[in-house]
Amino acid sequence: MKSLQLAEFGKPLQWAETETPVPKGKEVLLKVDACGVCHSDLHIWEGYYELGNDERMYIAERGVDLPLTLGHEVVGTVVQAGEDVTEVKKGDRRLIYPWVGCGECKYCRTDRMHMCLSPGSIGVFQDGGYSDYILIPHEQYLVDIDGLKPENACSYACAGLTAYSALKKMMPLEDDETMVIVGAGGLGLMAMQVVRELTSAKVIVIDVDNEKLKAAGELGNFTTINSKSENPVDRVMELTDGKGASAIVDFVNNQATSTAAFNMLQKNGIMVMVGLFGGKLTFSNPVATLKNLTIRGSYTGGLSELRELIDIVRDKKLKSIPVKTYKLDAADELLKKVKNGEITGRAVVAP
């Protein structure tokens, strides 16, 4: 098998040829059909997360070993299964749930593998989908996409699931309430694709890129704000008659966006922090108390939530976000484009 691997943080990916693994037990070997290029791939490639004030969290300190085949948003076709596999067979096309856990802790036993304290996430702690083949440790992580195109379905494993799980944490919302979505990148657009299946509340979308805001408008009847040309806090207050937003999900989550989001929250509001762009949020403690605010993080989602999401997308025939497919050897260039915010929607690579 041929894989494009990260051999040194911050350096170009390198091709590696290794023996194609033979699955055993509950393992499954798949031929990769499509793999999304995610912003998390960029952080792993660079080797760190920005924490603000010139502080960094280094990937190597989290147990990520190199060389590593990146790619955790994967759709593949089963080519071989271990002797104990019963749910899939050769030729089945499946979306891979990448947030593999230890399989034994309370989180893994209650469909919260993504919260496992000893994670084995695909494309993070074990080899992922920047390859022509991928080995999955257990058939339970394979999700039937039932006719969805691989290039559209692959990014539901992370971007779609992360957006969906974050939105659910803010529900329910009444029709007369206002939700703000900060960021119209891949995550934000995924949220816009599915948000109307969860609530009829008013939705405001904030970004700095008019092309991305245009893509947002094509997914639904959302009010858009370009925060480069107008003050987002003032504009949200104007649109809500001075009340502020009931719920805000920040898919950027840098110092500027999180501060703005906090300042536009109304009393009893909830703010869900998702993005990993870095920075620090500082606020007066009495404000959070007096306004009865909820501020929480949201990190991807559970396997059952991924199955829910696929059912919604398939059954409701939801309009896809913009997707463009490239050859796998374009991965380095695509990671640079992701860093510079040059991709609208989702970039996908295929062997």
CATH superfamily of 162-297: NAD(P)-binding Rossmann-like Domain (3.40.50.720)
What pLDDT score does 223 carry? Answer: 97
Distance CA 81, CA 236 (A): 53
Q: What DSSP letter does each residue of 301-325 carry, written as one string?
A: --HHHHHHHHHHHHHHTPPPPPEEE
User: What are the boundaries of each domain within the chain?
Assistant: 2-158+301-350, 162-297
Please report the pLDDT score of residue 267 as a whole number.
Answer: 97
Q: Which CATH number fits domain 2-158+301-350: 3.40.50.2300, 3.90.180.10, 3.40.50.970, 3.30.310.50?
A: 3.90.180.10
Give residue 342's region: left, alpha or beta (phi > 0; psi -120 to 50).
alpha
Q: Are 75 and 128 in contact (CB under 8 A)?
A: no
- pLDDT tens over the chain, length 351 residues: 999 999 999 999 999 999 999 999 999 999 999 999 999 999 999 999 999 888 999 999 989 999 999 999 999 999 999 999 999 999 999 999 999 999 999 999 999 999 999 999 999 999 999 999 999 999 999 999 988 999 999 999 999 999 999 999 999 999 999 999 999 999 999 999 999 999 999 999 999 999 999 999 999 999 999 999 999 999 999 999 999 999 999 999 999 999 999 999 999 999 999 999 999 999 999 999 999 999 999 999 999 999 999 999 999 999 999 999 999 999 999 999 999 999 999 999 999
How many Cβ atoms from other residues are within 10 Å of residue 214's Cβ?
12
Distance CA 240, CA 237 (A): 5
Other beta carbons less than 10 A from residue 163's beta carbon? 30
Determine the pLDDT at residue 77. Answer: 98
179-209: b (≥16 Cβ within 10 Å) or e:
bbbbbbbbbbbbbbbbbbebbebbbbbbbbb
Q: Tell me, what amino acid is at 68?
A: L
DSSP, res 122 = B
CB 72 within 8 A of CB 12: no
d(CA 53, CA 65): 27
Rg of the chain (C-alpha set) = 20
